[in-house]
Chains A and B, each alone.
Chain A
């Protein structure tokens, strides 16, 4: 394999490095702005650095309310998506039945179509059925597009899990529930954990569908959007932005760590 030893041409390295810095630099900038002393504008370089705005943000009840709603919505949506996504993945990967392709298309559709379509479709259905907006309408939307993330992770793992393990367990006298508890669950556990983490991150960050399914309540992204359109206190927004970046990075690193040995690393199909 001669090409394997070959070194990358300099031009290619430079182009790739430029591309990657284009991707990463804006995230770093967020971290700098969280410490700026400037209140009114986005002036660069920051005139001075301060920790004052962290304290101010800590004392803001609206930020806490939005954060708590976001966490609750993400937790419930992830739970629903875990159950539905795993069931779907198990059925699709265990057998070939009529309409199997249709099922996988149905699962992927909420991600493949632009979020605005999912959002407005849900809203028009709510108004037609006269369902009032609530915590549960937000969860309904979020769980719908979170299913695919869990599904993708679970399907990849089921494909690698040998079906004969299940047959052996049954032959040795275990019933279906024991087989599930002692054979299937340990095999897919890390994939489910990774899928669940990604679903949580996805829901925690979602804004487009949420603008259509929430009414008075603000999730953290909705709070952020409000601040972007009608800024009230820019430094507080800066601090929240930095915290949000940190909070979403943890599940991603976790999911990467859990699935890194597999043929398909989690998260590639957001």
Chain B
């Protein structure tokens, strides 16, 4: 049929009316229909989104005049050089280390949930587990951050819980650790870390579970039939097969931590993360070139990350 129409041998007579004629036209030239369908979305995303990204990228090559505070519209790498200043470079390192730690912790917490759901649960229990992951995923981001502010506050639940269990000294010891401790959990790096892990954890669970669902059961049986202990089966069969899923999840946890500026602002110490600097530089400081250069950092890091993930086959697990 399609070969016929491509050669112009249309079997039926032309359809009557303008809608019939249009239908015939689309049938004879399917590409025309595709182009028409794609025109609007591609225009929107291409112009609005890519266009905006491009203007941002261009601005990162401009620089700010130190005396007048005005933006000089000339191409220069001066703004990028500013990123390497110790004060700015520290911020980048701090953010990347936090993103790596959050990713690692999410992977560890996510695995048992994903494994139980994928391998052992069926029917009603599986649906329940799934909803248990989806509800926190889709609940309001700010409300979740707010909930953690309530939990971590000095007079909040955690302090109370430590008190009830008579282990308040443990909490004090944790808070006394230099650099990551603080006055209370809600103004320490530990607090920031906990909130990050909480907020992004569902993004790790779902792809890990999707990868684990695809591990053939007979491979696990074969491994144990051949004398593999549970740990060896896990290490040499399950983990390698789950890895693409974990990497897929890590794309989210890593990228989202890199770009977030609200969590460290509400729960955390006064030391800044990349997102906060971007926000401050484009807003009050009015230094859009530096803000733009800072946003290029996560883009480049994520570019590398995605390239590596693609080589590991992580995109099939998304």
Which residues does A use to contact B, with CB under 8 Å?
1-4, 6-8, 12-13, 15-16, 19-20, 22-24, 26-27, 29-30, 33, 41-45, 83-85, 87-88, 90-91, 94-95, 97, 103, 106-107, 109-110, 112-118, 120-125, 128, 140, 143-144, 147, 167, 170-171, 173, 175-177, 179, 198, 201, 205, 207-208, 211, 221, 224-225, 228-229, 237, 241, 244-245, 248-249, 251-253, 256, 260, 265, 267-270
8 cross-chain pairs, A with B, having the tightest CB-CB distances, nearest first? A114-B259, A15-B112, A176-B23, A121-B52, A26-B147, A125-B52, A175-B23, A8-B120
Which of B51, B109, B156, B302 is in CB contact (< 8 Å) with A42? B156
Q: Which of B19, B112, B265, B278 is close to A177, meaning CB atoms less than 8 Å apart?
A: B19
Please classify how large the interface on chain B is, using the bins under 10, 10 to 19, 20 to 34, 35 or more. 35 or more
Contact with A along B266-300 (1 / 0, CB 8 A): 10000000010011001000001001100100110
Q: Does B138 contact A (CB under 8 A)?
A: yes
> Looking at the complex, which of B39-47, B83-91, B170-178 is the stretch in contact with chain A?
B39-47
Chain A residues within 8 Å of B117, by CB:
16
A116-B260, A175-B15, A175-B23 known; A121-B56 Cβ under 8 A: yes
State the CA gap A85–B37 with chains docked (Å): 10
A residues near B130, Cβ cutoff 8 Å: 256, 265
Roughly how many angstroms separate A33 CA and B49 CA in the complex, as a whole number?
A: 40
Known: A23-B202, A208-B261. A7 touches B256 (CB 8 A): no
Given A114-B258, A117-B298, A260-B127, the answer on whether A19 and B112 have CB atoms closer than 8 Å is yes
Establish whether residues A83 and B40, one from each chain, have CB atoms under 8 Å apart when the complex forms. yes
Closest approach, in angstroms, between the C-beta of B162 and any C-beta of chain A? Answer: 12
Residues in chain B near residue A1, CB distance under 8 A = 217
Asked if B259 and A252 make an inter-chain contact with CB atoms under 8 angstroms apart, the answer reads no
Residue from A2, A7, A171 within 8 A of B221 (CB atoms)? A2
* Contact residues in B for A44 (Cβ distance below 8 Å): 150, 155-157, 159-160
Contact B291 A120 (CB under 8 A): yes
* Contact bitstring B108-145, A, C-beta under 8 A = 1, else 0: 01101101110110000001011111111111111111
Cβ B1 vs Cβ A19 within 8 A = no
Would you call A7 and B278 a contact (CB within 8 A)? no
